[in-house]
């Protein structure tokens, strides 16, 4: 009897969910929100402010590495501008962040000929001794090859000249390369920059050490120079390099998460948190990564105020600090706010390109309902609502059970041309794409904030 009752309850539950979802079909959303969506899109397409703010943020404050004066000046500006916009409860919440500084770096090839090899030290690396490091190069394609050739490594500089097959497969050499090379006695390690762009592009980013393994300097060189060194080895001419790196890890520095709110008209204690991250690496001006994420999420919610939309739930714009080398901002937000009722975490951190969809991780019933909203975006693009969604800064809250959402764009493979490099500047972003991203985010967040309470209980 117990088993029978159990299966009856399951069937009734599935039927209830199905019926509930059917109440919010495509015609329901088109009828209720088509005029709102059109108003959002039309306003956004003509709005000059977001691109002007993006230019100002990138040009005036420049790169914003955690612990830097540039970052804190940016944060002060964001707080002032949010107050001017009329957001409520605008504030900076304290976060102590890592403070790694780059001072000088140089690499010279001294055999078989003399030439400069441009390098960029990877974030968190130690310096070389004051007199530098002079050593021969051993080039490998993978960790597996390094393991097979471990007896050749001692006293040399390991070069990871892997075949680029996407960021996810390349970044492991940046992250773990120094640890594994040092385990076999290397005195330094270099990686081919994690970028598909063959144009002397240097790509930085975070790396790690392990306490039980000696620390060695770790840096990136261009794809062209990585290939050059490997070709020289193939000729029987083992390159010798001189490496000079002056960097330092200082005590943690005070930074802030930036917060501003629109208080919900019906459910003020139910929170949708949305934002990007204010910090960037110290090359370029962090325009795609992630000044643009801050601007599109901020301006999407600011748009509600401009056209008179009043969301039922509280929308909290959060611009997190220290995503790039520590996620201290995301963790601090979780520690401070996890006991508040969050119904969604939204982050945009994938650059600005034509928007193509919304990705959502959470309740399948809500996902099935959201899929019925896709036609509302048709004046922007052919839109796809699918499972997925997330971001580094929102992950700590998502792990507590809060649903996640993010915007999907079509970068045509170009995002990693600029990512973590000196080419990540505001001229790489089109104003039309920026405004379309803002409109898409605004539609998604407004509809989500308007869903029935039954879905969140």
- Domain regions of the chain by residue span: 26-98+252-456, 113-238
Tally Cβ neighbours within 10 Å of residue 229.
24
The fold adopted by the segment(s) 113-238 is Glucose Oxidase; domain 1 (3.50.30)
Distance (Å, rounded) from C-alpha 66 to C-alpha 96? 9
Closest by CA to 92, choosing from 319, 277, 418, is: 319
**Along the 457 residues of the chain, how does pLDDT read in single tens digits?**
445 444 434 443 444 444 455 578 889 999 999 999 999 999 999 999 999 999 999 999 999 999 999 999 999 999 999 999 999 999 999 999 999 999 999 999 999 999 999 999 999 999 999 999 999 999 999 999 999 999 999 999 999 999 999 999 999 999 999 999 999 999 999 999 999 877 788 999 999 999 999 999 999 999 999 999 999 999 999 999 999 999 999 999 999 999 999 999 999 999 999 999 999 999 999 999 999 999 999 999 999 999 999 999 999 999 999 999 999 999 999 999 999 999 999 999 999 999 999 999 999 999 999 999 999 999 999 999 999 999 999 999 999 999 999 999 999 989 999 999 999 999 999 999 999 999 999 999 999 999 999 999 8
Q: Which SS3 state, helix, strand or coil, does residue 343 take?
A: strand
Distance (Å, rounded) from C-alpha 394 to C-alpha 320? 9
Q: Give the chain's count of helices (H) and strands (E).
A: 13, 14
Of the residues 72, 261, 323, 324, which is catalytic? 323
Closest by CA to 422, choosing from 224, 232, 288, is: 288
Distance (Å, rounded) from C-alpha 247 to C-alpha 261? 39
Based on the residue annotation, tell me whether 266 is a catalytic residue of this protein. no
Phi, psi of 314 (to 5 degrees): -70, 125
**Contact between residue 92 and residue 79 where contact means Cβ atoms under 8 Å apart:** yes
Distance (Å, rounded) from C-alpha 406 to C-alpha 395? 12
The fold adopted by the segment(s) 26-98+252-456 is Aminopeptidase (3.40.630)
State pTM to two decimals. 0.93
């Amino acid at each position: 009897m117990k088993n029978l009752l159990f299966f009856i309850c399951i069937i009734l539950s599935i039927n209830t969910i199905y019926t509930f979802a059917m109440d919010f079909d495509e015609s329901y959303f088109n009828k209720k929100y088509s005029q709102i969506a059109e108003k959002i899109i039309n306003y956004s397409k003509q709005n000059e402010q977001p691109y002007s703010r993006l230019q100002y943020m990138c040009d005036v404050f420049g790169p914003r590495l955690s612990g830097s004066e540039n970052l804190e000046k940016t944060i002060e500006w964001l707080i002032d501008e949010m107050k001017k916009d009329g957001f409520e409860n605008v504030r900076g919440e304290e976060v102590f962040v890592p403070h790694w500084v780059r001072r000088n770096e140089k690499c010279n090839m001294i055999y078989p000929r003399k030439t400069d090899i441009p390098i960029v030290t990877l974030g968190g690396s130690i310096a070389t001794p004051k007199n530098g490091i002079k050593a021969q190069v051993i080039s490998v394609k993978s960790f597996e090859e390094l393991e097979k050739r471990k007896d050749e490594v001692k006293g040399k500089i390991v070069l990871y000249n892997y075949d680029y097959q996407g960021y996810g497969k390349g970044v492991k050499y940046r992250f773990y390369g120094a640890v594994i090379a040092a385990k076999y006695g290397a005195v330094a390690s270099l990686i081919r920059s994690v970028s598909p762009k063959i144009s002397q592009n240097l790509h930085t980013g975070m790396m790690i050490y392990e306490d039980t393994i000696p620390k060695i300097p770790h840096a990136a060189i261009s794809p062209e120079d990585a290939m050059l060194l490997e070709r020289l080895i193939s000729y029987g001419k083992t390159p010798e390099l001189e490496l000079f790196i002056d960097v330092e890890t200082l005590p943690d520095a005070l930074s802030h998460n930036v917060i501003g709110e629109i208080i919900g008209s019906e459910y003020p204690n139910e929170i949708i948190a949305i934002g990007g991250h204010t910090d960037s690496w110290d090359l370029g001006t962090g325009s795609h990564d992630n000044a643009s994420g801050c601007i599109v999420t901020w301006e999407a919610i600011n748009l509600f105020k401009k056209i008179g939309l009043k969301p039922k739930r509280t929308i909290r714009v959060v611009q997190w600090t220290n995503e790039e080398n520590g996620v201290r901002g995301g963790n601090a937000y979780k520690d401070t706010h996890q006991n508040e009722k969050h119904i969604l975490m939204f982050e945009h951190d994938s650059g600005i390109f034509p928007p193509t969809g919304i990705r959502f991780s959470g309740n399948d019933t809500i996902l099935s309902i959201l899929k019925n909203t896709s036609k509302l975006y048709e004046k922007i693009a052919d839109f796809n609502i699918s499972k997925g969604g997330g971001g580094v800064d929102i992950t700590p809250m998502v792990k507590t059970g809060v649903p996640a959402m993010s915007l999907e764009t079509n970068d045509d493979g170009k995002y990693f041309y600029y990512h973590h490099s000196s080419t990540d500047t505001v001229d790489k972003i089109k104003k039309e794409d920026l405004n379309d991203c803002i409109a898409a985010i605004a539609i998604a967040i407004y509809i989500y904030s308007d869903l029935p309470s039954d879905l969140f209980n």
